[in-house]
Amino acid sequence: MTVYGGHDVPGRLITVEGIDGSGKSTQLALLQKWLEAQDYGTFLSDWNSSALVREATRRGKKKRMLTPMTFSLIHATDFADRTERHIIPPLKAGALVLADRYVYTAFARDVARGVNPCWVRNLYRFAVKPTIAFYFRISVDDAMRRIVGGRDAISYYEAGMDQHLSTDVNESFRLFQGAVIEQYDRMVDEFGLVVIDASRSIEEQQMRMRETVITALSGVRKSRIRQWVDSNVTAKACRP
Average pLDDT along the chain: 88
Report the distance separating Cα 87 and Cα 71, nearest Å. Answer: 22
What's the structural domain count of the chain?
Answer: 1
The pLDDT value recorded for residue 224 is: 53
Question: What's the rounded Cα separation, in Å, for the pair 69 and 63?
Answer: 16
Taking only the tens place, the pLDDT of each residue in 51-104 is 888 888 888 888 888 899 998 999 999 999 999 999 999 999 888 999 999 999
Q: What integer is the mean pLDDT of 118-130?
A: 95
Domain assignment of residue 5, yes or no: no
Collapsed DSSP state (helix, strand, coil) of residue 136 = strand
Looking at residue 237, its pLDDT comes to: 45
Position 25 pLDDT exceeds 80:
yes
Is 181 domain-assigned? no
Q: Would 170 be classed as within a structural domain?
A: no
Indicate if the pLDDT at residue 31 is higher than 50. Answer: yes
Chain CA centroid to CA 52, Å: 18
Cα end-to-end distance, the chain, whole Å: 45
Is the distance from CB of 57 to CB of 74 less than 8 angstroms? yes
* Arithmetic mean of pLDDT, 22-45: 94
Percent of the chain with pLDDT over 90: 65
The whole domain housing 38 covers 12-138+188-227
pLDDT greater at residue 228 or residue 162: 162
At 230, the pLDDT band (50, 70, 90 cuts) reads low
- The radius of gyration computed from the CA coordinates of the chain, to the nearest angstrom, equals 18
Residues 6+ apart with CB under 8 A from 195: 134, 135, 137, 188
What b-and-e string marks burial along 12-26, b requiring 16 or more CB atoms within 10 Å of the CB? Answer: bbbbbbbbbbbbbee
- Please check whether residue 156 lies inside any domain of the structure: no
In a domain? residue 32: yes
Residue 61 is predicted with a pLDDT of: 85
Q: What is the CATH number of the domain that holds 70?
A: 3.40.50.300
- SS3 (DSSP) at 206: helix
Strand partners, 15: 99, 133
Domain for residue 145, yes or no?
no
* CA nearest to 98, candidates 45, 30, 19: 45
In a domain, 7, yes or no: no
Do 187 and 137 touch, CB atoms closer than 8 A?
no
pLDDT per residue as tens digits for the range 192-221:
999 999 999 999 999 999 999 999 987 777
List Cα–Cα distances, 217 to 36, 46, 62, 109, in angstroms.
13, 22, 42, 30
Please determine, for residue 239, whether its predicted confidence score (pLDDT) is greater than 80.
no
Q: For residue 164, is it within any domain?
A: no
Q: Which of 104-108, 166-170, 192-196 has the lowest mean pLDDT?
A: 166-170
